[in-house]
Amino acid sequence: MAENPAWCTPQLLVAWEQGVHDFNEGRFWEAHEAWERGWKDLPQAERTYVQGLIQIAAAFHLEDLGRLDPALRLRASSRQKIQATWSTIQDRLPRLEVQGEGRHARAVLLLPGRPAV
């Protein structure tokens, strides 16, 4: 992976790492909030990708609340955003993967030159 672009600031990476920690502790709303920090300032494709990740966390939060229909809609929207943008941004953005479902889901942040968070 190439060097992080200028817009991929240390503050943004810290927010993403915090979101991963919250997500992996089952605090999906807090992960959603952490990942929202700075996403609106990203270039279009990166913004859309991160919005998809934010929607995953929000969907799991809604599932925890028993709101399954809105959660399913958010998941579908999230998948669409991530699939539509990943090939464009994969060399420009640290990769954040969500693996598993619901309470068994885990997030992994892959940063250049550092072990997975």
Mean pLDDT of 2-31: 80
CA distance 67 to 65: 6
State residue 71's pLDDT score: 92
pLDDT band at 58 (very low <50, low <70, confident <90, very high): very high
The first and second tokens of residue 84, run together, are: 């539509």
For the stretch 81-104, pLDDT in tens is 988 988 887 776 666 677 777 666
Query: For residue 66, is pLDDT > 90?
Result: yes
Q: Name the superfamily (CATH) of residues 10-110.
A: TTHA0068-like (1.10.3450.10)
What does each C-alpha distance from 94 to 49, 61, 75 come to in angstroms? 11, 24, 21
51 closest CA partner among 67, 30, 74: 74
